[in-house]
Structure 1
Amino acid sequence: MTQTVDEVLIEPAQTRLDLREPPPVGMPGARPVRAERAAPKVPRVAIVHDWLVAYAGAERVLEQIIACFPDADIFSVVDFMDERACLQGKRVTTSFIQKLPFAKKKYRGYLPLMPLAIEQLDVSGYDLVISSSHAVAKGVLTGPDQIHISYVHSPIRYAWDLQHQYLRQSNLTAGMKSMMARIVLHYMRTWDIRTSNSVDHFIANSAFIARRIHKVYHRDAHVIFPPVDVDAFQLNEIKDDFYLTASRMVPYKKIDLIVEAFAKMPERRLVVIGDGPDMRKIRAKASPNVEIMGYQPFSVLHDRMRRAKAFVFAAEEDFGISVVEAQACGTPVIAYGKGGALETVRDASHAEPTGIFFDEQSIESIVDAVQEFELGAVAFRPADCRANAQRFSIGHFRESLRAHVGHVAPHFVLPPMREDDIDDRKGEVKEAAQASDLRVLAVDQSGALGGAELSMLEVVKNMRGDVQTLLFDDGPFRIALEAVGVKVDVLDGAALGNVRKDGIKRPGAGMLGGVLKLLRGTLAKSRDADVIYVNTQRAMVIGAIAGLISRRPVVWHLRDIVSEDHFGRTQLTIIKWCTKLMLEHVIANSTASATAVTALTRLREERLDVVFNGISADPFTDLEAVAQHELRDRFGLPRDAFLVGSFSRLARWKGQHVLLEALRECPEMHAVFVGAALFGEDAYEAELRAFVAEHGLADRVHFLGFQHDIAACMKAVDIVTHTSIMPEPFGRVIIEGMLSKRPVVAARAGGVIDIVKDRENAILCEPGDARALAQALDELAGDASLRERLVHAGYANAVNRFGTRRYVESVEKILNRVASKKRRRVAV
């Protein structure tokens, strides 16, 4: 049984747990005294790991052990890792199980053979052997002149205290299979105890596991908490009104108890992230105040952890990485008071508390703890939570491990870590240097400056390395790219002009020739690139084919909800098979976009990331000193009117007609429409103008057309609206409205849910509901304090969560990772 990230991983901070005094030499249980070497030496180091099949908790620890001993050789029972960055380019020596039938998927079925397999790995030529063990790695054979240090994530839990739970979960409580399983586990316990005698020094990943080691092996263990990538989580001082729990949905995690507890507290909101065998059962127990999000990529988990008022944790874990990650975000923890949580959370008995404990794994106990948290008797400061999490950083782990090895083996001169592995920041520098060598071909279908193009512009103008941009149409986008120094080529994409997302208009006979021209042009540019970065659906199809031919990896930045609401069946079929067969990776701009593409393509989670668009605050802050009446004069808008703005291309699904209908119920307001009909939607614009004329609204409706200075337009109005009648992939205009320090009213659907907390940083209305929109506008017009509160919270939300630096770095990191993965394949 492998251990997941939040089961195994985690912490640094060196602690010595002396469970008993070591017996004198010659007494039972004493460790033999080694003869002193004549002179110190640099040891040959072997690192032995149970099995390499996925990058989970134990593998994160292994990665840092390798960083501490960069010249070590690696051994494992099997090696089927796809994500090999943690191995730092090292070849792994494996056992005979590697070549057995079905070993890649059924390696656990060979558990009875693993003791034999681990004993066949020859490490006799090494001075220092470090095993990373939650199963059999510690059983590797070593001689009397070798030092064996075993970092134990846990003794084989399903063979010891969790045997009966394991048998129940595996439906092995009775029958012949149960008998065989019990015999195998008995054999594993006997072997596990015997091989513990060959370990010279035990390291446990927590005091909890140290106690388990003492119980099972009758040996003391030094505690070095596993490494948590604390720097990947950012402190957030501003918390939203919801609780969070995140975990794989398996019985011992007790997610069902948390969900049932919040069902008894309908006034409290709970967000649940994770997936697993218990998902259906947990969904059935969820009440309206509980949001079950399922599996989410890191960016979404990180966002919710930063914003949650508290993280709820009900499992009895060996360590509990998610607890540390939450604290790294400045989020306090409400945890079950047993296991590793007692070592990672500080309760009210500490001067700087970071959480509270509940005593029982029960609904009532969780409810009581949440109510206690709400009463606020204990004050939690985000900075204290972050400081506590820092005790478990990668740097602390490395320092502690090398210090302990130096202590137990003083006759060894430890090899220095490589310069770029000295500390966490050096690793970041290394990654940045790699990214600076990256050659990217960025492809977009449009010459217009829509939301997708503005978001791509932010990436390519700030990305390090060599970026070449290819457009299938000329226009303002090309001018904007060249203005910031980005190299641009324009191909003739007119043949794609009749291809629509909804599939209503069929492509003409000349399309094939036009597509071939685009393909040839894209191929010619792609041969000098490390990765092809495609920004829109049509560009994705051309880029995917070009990448297949040129053998370049293709990354699609998905900025659409690929569903029947937005695309025709033919287009969805093309998207599905291009994504499944030709793309290396997908970046989705929202949870809604990610969910839709996963439903369509069944894309594996390791091939998908959610990266929220980043929007620069600079254009808005540059206008802080400009009076609103000056901006209104610039655009010919009335100085004294109450102006409600709509900022989007004119398209039916964008819902400008909803604002016009609402305006009829708000006679004291004016509407300002910024945007043009870009993609054959002139009939809709004519329909809007006809509605204005028919209902006598001409003196209160202002069509400004396409505008370059969106910041100035937004600051000229009093309220920013978002009125899409179909789910929006992201909702860029909402972030811009918040940055302009204007209250925002938005449609409750799609990516908007990632941005807005209703009545905390904006107001949500149901899509297409003109009356609800009118009521929200009237309320805002009459309540200055509400406008001020939404403006303050909205601006903080936009700056903290949707900044350009994090956005660009996230995209750049993905592109660099994909390119590096391709290079490793070529090298092999």
Structure 2
Amino acid sequence: MNHDIAEDTLLRPSTPATRALHDAAASAGAIAPAAPLVQPGRRAASRAGHAAHTVRVAIVHDWLVTYAGAERVLEQIVACFPGADLFALVDFLDDRSFIRGKPVKTTFIQKLPKARTRYRSYLPLMPLAIEQLDLSEYDVVISSSHAVAKGVLTGPDQVHVSYVHSPIRYAWDLQHQYLTESKLTSGPKSALARLILHYIRNWDVRTANSVDSFVSNSSFIARRIRKVYQREADVINPPVDVESFAIHEQKEDFYLTASRMVPYKKIDLIVEAFAKMPERRLVVIGDGPDMQKIRAKAAPNVEIMGYQPFAVLRDRMRRAKAFVFAAEEDFGISVVEAQACGTPVIAYGKGGALETVRDLSDPRPTGLFFEEQTAGSIIAAVENFAAQPDRFSPADCRANAERFSAALFRERFFAHVCARVPALQGTMLPAYDPPAKGAATQPASSLRVLAVDQSGVLGGAELSLLEIVKALRARMDVVLFDDGPFRVALDRAGVPVTVLDAGATRDMRKKGNSPPLGRALKSVMSLVRATAARARNNDVIYANTQRSMVVGVLAGKLARKPVVWHLRDIVSAEHFGRRQLQVIKWCSRYGLAHVIANSRASARAFVDLTNFSDDKVEVVFNGISAAPFDALRDVPQCTLRERLNLPRDAFLVGSFSRLARWKGQHVLLEAIIGQPQMHAVLVGSALFGEDAYEAELRAFVVQHGLTGRVHFLGFQHDVAACMGAMDVVAHTSITPEPFGRVIVEGMLARRPVIAARAGGVTEIIHDGENGLLCEPGDARALADRLVELRSNRTLREQLVMRGYQTATDSFGTTAYVDGVEQILKRVAAGKKAG
């Protein structure tokens, strides 16, 4: 397995198979052990025959410094036993999301000099250190080991299951390669290194006797275990996040390799081979110690991109003609990820690749092998591949990759452990609740955030805040100025929420229409005092809306806390009254530490209004999870329409927004008047005193004989299902939209999108490529574009394909949460430093 490369992963739901298993057990009256299976703080009175809910589990990992191949396995083991305690030699994680924010008990190496960066140098001390972990209070010990974790001390009444990524490679069959690459082939240092490795081997063999059951990540590693420890191992392949990779049928004319640039990965050989094939293009993604060596070998047909975020890696994997892999890996996660994209693999024919790639001897091949780690052998394999492109099917590649899903790993590993622990037999695999990647749950002593929002409804701003809160919930408190569905959603996410009485501020509107000044000030100060009291236990106030920003600024002054405003509006006279704009200018001058804008359009308008410092305004595009949309991908559209009581055969154009004049629903109604085959579906309710506009829309429908072709669905919780029922998603705002969340949601729902050309919308849609644009308020132009879409199936399919790619690559939740979190951290750190 690759223990070096660290890649971000996307949020993913539990699989249908896992959910079905869990639901069936629940309906039968079984008790799912997700919470009670492991109870830290309670010692089992008697291990033998005791009820499963008293079983205590410890999970031991070698070291926690990054998120790579071994840590992906650890993540899923923790998901199987969410109440377990976690141990490691050292813990220097920044992103703690994959271990669900668990505290980690470490060894004395944690406190040794330069341990954060030089922990590997303490290899001679690692056997001693791992044996100092006291696990005597646990019934089950699970070690995740590629170095020394399997050497923990356990007693005769404890069950020790060891998932072995590999016996210590540099101490066994790869010792001579390790010494050569480390330039330790001769001299006193070489002698010392060989002596240490000899000692490690002896210790490694001896400690294997304390393991009750071995699990290996491949048959290749199982053979190593048999050779080294003289023990058999069950093979459970490591989890691959195949759900984060979508199949892509249309391949482009380039090859891809991606890896950390270290010697054993042999990236230099791949680059050297392609330098001798100038007619073939190679893209290289990754960074590491060998970067300069590899750059020196690159020819003009080789593009070396360096480190790239996950979205870029996934995009290139999906589009590549083939993925080239030259390492002898224990397993090789990237090989499976490529196949999950429908991309065949050209791989070195040793190690784990032999178990994950089906070569030309198979009736449904997913790649082919080369026999030697030489440039000539790679060239021959590439030429062989290019000569028979029709032999490889993207669908076959994807089907092969799905054998290695994370859900299957959890089911198999949980069953393996339960079969060896009598007290766990008959228990159920806990339902999977995926952690948010990139938004690490930190210890309580680090960043603490007070999020403030004025609304209890689930509008776009609240849905965007919900993504942040779910990811940072262990470090975040929330204050609302009104109760409603948003508070319910926060409760479900397990987030502490306080609802304050908004008083007269509830009647304030962007365009003025405020309550009497005295009543308003009294209500504001009441909110300020209550917010300041809660801010004192936090490091930063994070205001999500304009009214909450004003309260936050005043509360920040009282509590001496910095305030960050997440600006989700275009602050102009088109959206705000004169008094509100003056208040925003005052707050920016006297109380705001930083501003996060949801688009460049929002940022420009704010800076133009306030002259706020450019370096304190940052754009972070809203992030929207693809999970609820992907979950409905295979549900027939007719089923969704039947569920919503919509006509089955009509051409449905959906509008998704609260009913408000500036949102422009009337423009859509005007556009369909002369198009009898089209229906308009309005999803959303009148909020914030806009009932008169809804009445106007309904009167328009009656007046123009549209009663049978306009469907008012009101507020809907399941936006994904509603969008899936549409033929087109229309976004018709008549004034500039700050961002346009609905546009991204429409793209994720795989529906063509038409939007008004203004504001942040133009930062999402490129006209004719991933969506269509028309002038704001122009019903005739909107009608023309709708007719164009209805009559041009090819255009619809093109917009859907490119739109979905835009949404997942540029507006995913990982980059969004990480961007907001990093800004909050910097602001809080700056305040502390000051």
Pair 1:330 & 2:328 matched: no
Pair 1:524 & 2:553 matched: yes
Q: 1:794-809 maps to which residues of 2 (within 5 A)?
A: 795=799, 798-803=802-807, 807=811, 809=813
Q: CA deviation at 1:129?
A: 0.7
1:360-382 CA distance string (max 9 Å, x none): 11212212222222222652222
Q: 1:136-285 maps to which residues of 2 (within 5 A)?
A: 136-285=148-297
Q: CA deviation at 1:522?
A: 9.9
* Residues 159, 420 of structure 2: 8 Å contact kept: no
* Residues 95, 120 of structure 1: 8 Å contact kept: yes
Corresponding residue of 2:576: none
Q: 1:283-682 maps to which residues of 2 (within 5 A)?
A: 283-376=295-388, 378-413=390-425, 416-421=428-433, 463=464, 465=466, 524=553, 532-533=565-566, 575=615
> Which of 732, 735, 749 does residue 766 from structure 2 map onto?
735
Distance 2:139 2:99 in 1: 21
Which one-letter code corresponds to 2:288 in the other structure?
A: G
Rate the CA distance shift 1:793–1:269 in 2: closer, same or farther, 3 A.
Answer: farther
Q: CA deviation at 1:265?
A: 1.8
Distance 1:737 1:462 in 2: 29
* Residues 213, 221 of structure 1: 8 Å contact kept: yes
* Residues 370, 381 of structure 2: 8 Å contact kept: yes
Aligned Cα root-mean-square deviation (Å): 5.4
Q: CA deviation at 1:76?
A: 1.3
Q: Secondary structure at the match of 1:238?
A: coil
> Which of 96, 103, 111 does residue 123 from structure 2 map onto?
111
Rate the CA distance shift 1:220–1:95 in 2: closer, same or farther, 3 A.
Answer: same
Q: How many equivalent pairs are there?
A: 549
Distance 1:522 1:547 in 2: 13
Which one-letter code corresponds to 2:240 in the other structure?
A: V
Distance 1:259 1:793 in 2: 36
Rate the CA distance shift 1:236–1:189 in 2: closer, same or farther, 3 A.
Answer: same
* Residues 467, 487 of structure 1: 8 Å contact kept: no
Distance 1:6 1:467 in 2: 23
* Residues 419, 425 of structure 2: 8 Å contact kept: no
1:466-521 CA distance string (max 9 Å, x none): 999xxxxxxxxxxxxxxxxx99699xxxxxxxxxxxxxxxxxxxxxxxxxx99996
Distance 1:68 1:812 in 2: 28
Q: CA deviation at 1:795?
A: 4.5
Q: Secondary structure at the match of 1:197?
A: helix
Rate the CA distance shift 1:45–1:291 in 2: closer, same or farther, 3 A.
Answer: same
Q: CA deviation at 1:531?
A: 6.7
Corresponding residue of 2:108: 96
Q: Secondary structure at the match of 1:75?
A: strand
> Which of 39, 46, 54 does residue 58 from structure 2 map onto?
46
Q: CA deviation at 1:195?
A: 0.6
TM-score normalised according to structure 2 size: 0.56
Distance 1:52 1:247 in 2: 20
Rate the CA distance shift 1:89–1:249 in 2: closer, same or farther, 3 A.
Answer: closer
Rate the CA distance shift 1:118–1:360 in 2: closer, same or farther, 3 A.
Answer: same
Distance 2:819 2:129 in 1: 39
1:86-145 CA distance string (max 9 Å, x none): 222322211122222332222222211111111111111211111011111111011111
Distance 1:533 1:313 in 2: 43
* Residues 238, 307 of structure 1: 8 Å contact kept: yes
Q: Secondary structure at the match of 1:738?
A: coil
1:172-218 CA distance string (max 9 Å, x none): 22222222222111111111111111111111111111111111111
Corresponding residue of 1:82: 94
Rate the CA distance shift 1:168–1:198 in 2: closer, same or farther, 3 A.
Answer: same
Q: CA deviation at 1:324?
A: 0.9
* Residues 599, 763 of structure 2: 8 Å contact kept: no
Rate the CA distance shift 1:165–1:369 in 2: closer, same or farther, 3 A.
Answer: same
Rate the CA distance shift 1:411–1:732 in 2: closer, same or farther, 3 A.
Answer: closer
* Residues 2, 333 of structure 2: 8 Å contact kept: no
* Residues 68, 398 of structure 1: 8 Å contact kept: yes
Q: Secondary structure at the match of 2:347?
A: strand
Which one-letter code corresponds to 2:4 in the other structure?
A: T
* Residues 62, 147 of structure 2: 8 Å contact kept: yes
- Structure 1 unmatched runs, 5+: 14-34, 432-436, 443-457, 469-485, 491-516, 561-570, 590-615, 631-705, 710-728, 743-787
Q: CA deviation at 1:227?
A: 1.1
Q: Secondary structure at the match of 2:768?
A: helix
TM-score normalised according to structure 1 size: 0.56
Distance 2:60 2:467 in 1: 40
Q: 1:710-749 maps to which residues of 2 (within 5 A)?
A: 735-739=766-770
Distance 1:308 1:281 in 2: 24
Q: CA deviation at 1:170?
A: 2.1
1:720-739 CA distance string (max 9 Å, x none): xxxxxxxxx99959832324
Rate the CA distance shift 1:731–1:806 in 2: closer, same or farther, 3 A.
Answer: closer
Rate the CA distance shift 1:551–1:317 in 2: closer, same or farther, 3 A.
Answer: farther
Rate the CA distance shift 1:237–1:115 in 2: closer, same or farther, 3 A.
Answer: same
Q: CA deviation at 1:220?
A: 0.8
1:61-100 CA distance string (max 9 Å, x none): 1111111111211111122211111222322211122222
Distance 2:594 2:794 in 1: 43
Q: Secondary structure at the match of 2:766?
A: helix
Rate the CA distance shift 1:176–1:439 in 2: closer, same or farther, 3 A.
Answer: same
> Which of 77, 80, 96 does residue 65 from structure 1 map onto?
77
Distance 2:368 2:805 in 1: 27
Q: Secondary structure at the match of 1:222?
A: strand
* Residues 259, 285 of structure 1: 8 Å contact kept: yes
* Residues 43, 413 of structure 1: 8 Å contact kept: no
Distance 2:331 2:138 in 1: 31
Q: Secondary structure at the match of 1:334?
A: strand
- Structure 2 unmatched runs, 5+: 10-14, 18-45, 441-448, 470-507, 513-545, 573-583, 602-610, 624-652, 657-666, 676-733, 738-759, 774-791
* Residues 439, 531 of structure 1: 8 Å contact kept: no
Distance 2:389 2:467 in 1: 55
Distance 1:551 1:135 in 2: 49
Distance 1:236 1:521 in 2: 47
* Residues 44, 128 of structure 1: 8 Å contact kept: yes
Rate the CA distance shift 1:256–1:56 in 2: closer, same or farther, 3 A.
Answer: same
Distance 1:466 1:732 in 2: 21
Distance 2:589 2:244 in 1: 33
1:499-555 CA distance string (max 9 Å, x none): xxxxxxxxxxxxxxxxxx99996962996999754699x99xxx9xx9999999976
Q: Secondary structure at the match of 1:305?
A: helix
Which one-letter code corresponds to 2:553 in the other structure?
A: A
